[in-house]
Amino acid sequence: MGEVVCLELSVLLWLAHVIVQAVAGRAAFGSAYLFSSRDTQPKPKGIACGRATRALNNYVENLVPFVAMALGLIAMGRTGGLGATVWIVARILYLPIYVAGVVYVRTALWGIAVVRLLMMLARLAGF
């Protein structure tokens, strides 16, 4: 899987995060709250909404450097490493693992993704 495909998948994964967070939010707060201006937040029912929200925030934080690295590799003609592929696979697995509350696997997947970002950076730098 190349960097372009991984970029495309990263957008679809972002959409999956948003949908999971919205579904969990509906279960936690109800439809009326989701359609409101959300000036005040009631206490959520259950923990899935908080987990889905934190997973989305974590994904967005990691998506920015991934996009930068992938676009840089494409622009410099240094594509073809496994960094982007392993990053997207780790991030795909991260969402259900996080929402399910599997602690050590979640942290390992995050770590794998960060290491792959660093490997992409090294490839971009010509190492």
> Can you give the CATH number for the domain in which 25 is found?
1.20.120.550
* Count of CB atoms situated within 10 Å of the CB of 40: 7
Q: How many domains does the chain have?
A: 1
What's residue 36's pLDDT? 86
Q: How far is CA 76 from CA 4, 34, 83, 124, 126, in A?
A: 13, 43, 15, 7, 10
pLDDT higher than 80, residue 44: no
Instruction: Kindly tell me the burial class for residue 17, based on how many C-beta atoms sit within 10 Å of its own C-beta (0-12, 13-18, 19 or more).
Output: buried
* Long-range contact set of residues 103-112: C-beta below 8 Å, sequence gap at least 24: 110/58, 110/62, 112/86, 112/87
The answer to whether 25 and 34 are in contact (CB under 8 A) is: yes
Q: How much is the average pLDDT of 51-80?
A: 96
| Mean of all residue pLDDT scores within the chain | 94
What's residue 35's pLDDT? 85
CA distance 57 to 59: 5
* Count of CB atoms situated within 10 Å of the CB of 28: 21
Q: pTM to 2 decimals?
A: 0.90
Between CA 102 and CA 108, with CA 104 as vertex, the angle to 5 degrees is: 115
pLDDT higher than 90, residue 31: no
Closest CA relative to residue 1, chosen from 64, 70, 51: 70
Least confident range of 32-46, 60-74, 102-116: 32-46
Instruction: Give me the domain span that covers residue 43.
Output: 3-124
